[in-house]
Copies of this chain bind each other. A is one copy, B any other.
């Protein structure tokens, strides 16, 4: 009999939580130099037995920008993290027992957006092939599309939408909490901020990133700048070496480069869902939410996506909250049961 892990006890879980380390082929030799060995955190519900015969559906959780697996595991008094939510929901029988898997999509730039990028590495492939493969190989999962869902907040919500559109057949449902979308409202003002910050570094992105890493503390402008570099690395990389990127704005004036921004828009769920009838129609649940005071205006994106999906004749669950972009973990209490409810239970 396996004893519950230290993390499970520290988080006061009734179930268990294990931390595996996966060697990802997809990430091997990535140009940015991030580790190809990644933690995979797996929550096991009470009663899970390695040697048993029962099989479980799996919910894959994607963290947001500046997050990683360790951050998802982290706990704060008065707050409930995603593992604690899952454990509580299962314990209170508000959802059927399921595995929860925390995917680590961090990069040196703060996040991969879970897309395959010639600059960052193949993070979409890593997620749908390497992480899913590891979990199916090592745990008692329902190893089929009908037994998997994907969800996340912010950039994790974007990632969930990206993966179901880009890799149909892996997940049967998604939930996006305040997911990145409608980039014109979400990112335009930041471009001006970042233009100023990078001009002060003569647009030497490597120098900016090194200076960022060396600081004890960073201010909001520095975080925003790093964030836009990360998105550039995901959406408009130029070559397969570190910092070889096409910024979406002109270096001299800061104005938009329409040709580069068009590459960003090709990733924008609000722009692309209209063309993804096939990928969307096979899903059992499409769940979107956002706070109506979202600082990045992602509520507008969620509305656009919901309307476009309905225009395709498909159903969507779309919720709005009187809330902003931060600390929206309480919505796991909605999404986790909703996703688990549509998955196969054996």
List the interface of chain A (C-beta within 8 A of B): 5-7, 9-11, 18-19, 21, 39, 41, 66-71, 73-78, 106, 110, 182, 184-185, 188-189, 191-192, 195-196, 212-213, 216-218, 252-256, 270, 292-293, 297, 299-300, 303-304, 307, 323, 326-327, 330
Contacts and interface: CB of A to CB of B under 8 A. Distances in A.
A21 to B, nearest CB: 7
Q: State the copy count for this chain.
A: 4
Nearest to A331: B216
A189 B6 CA distance: 42
Contacts of A41: 10
A253 B300 contact: yes
B327 A256 contact: no
Contacts of A292: 196
A300 B255 contact: yes
Contacts of A300: 192, 195, 253-255
Nearest to A191: B185
Given A185-B192, A192-B299, 6 more contacts: A7-B10, A66-B76, A73-B74, A77-B106, A185-B254, A254-B299
A75 B74 contact: yes
A74 to B, nearest CB: 3
A74 B77 contact: no
B307 A70 contact: no
B297 A192 contact: yes
Given A189-B297, A192-B300, A256 B216 contact: no
B216 A330 contact: yes
A217 B327 contact: yes
Nearest to A217: B327
Contact of A77 (B66, B73, B78, B303): B66
Contacts of A270: 255
A257 to B, nearest CB: 12
Contacts of A39: 9-10
B196 A185 contact: no
A129 to B, nearest CB: 23
A7 B70 CA distance: 9
8 contacts: A6-B6, A6-B19, A70-B76, A71-B74, A216-B330, A253-B304, A254-B300, A255-B270
Contact of A255 (B70, B182, B191): B182
B188 A78 contact: no
Of listed A18, A66, A68, A185, residue having the most chain B CB within 10 A: A185
B11 A70 contact: yes
Contacts of A256: 184-185
A72 to B, nearest CB: 10
B7 A110 contact: no
Nearest to A199: B292
A217 B185 CA distance: 26
A76 B71 contact: yes
A196 B188 CA distance: 19
A146 to B, nearest CB: 31
Contacts of A68: 75, 77
A21 B70 CA distance: 22
A18 B9 CA distance: 11
Given A195-B300, A255-B182, A70 B110 contact: no
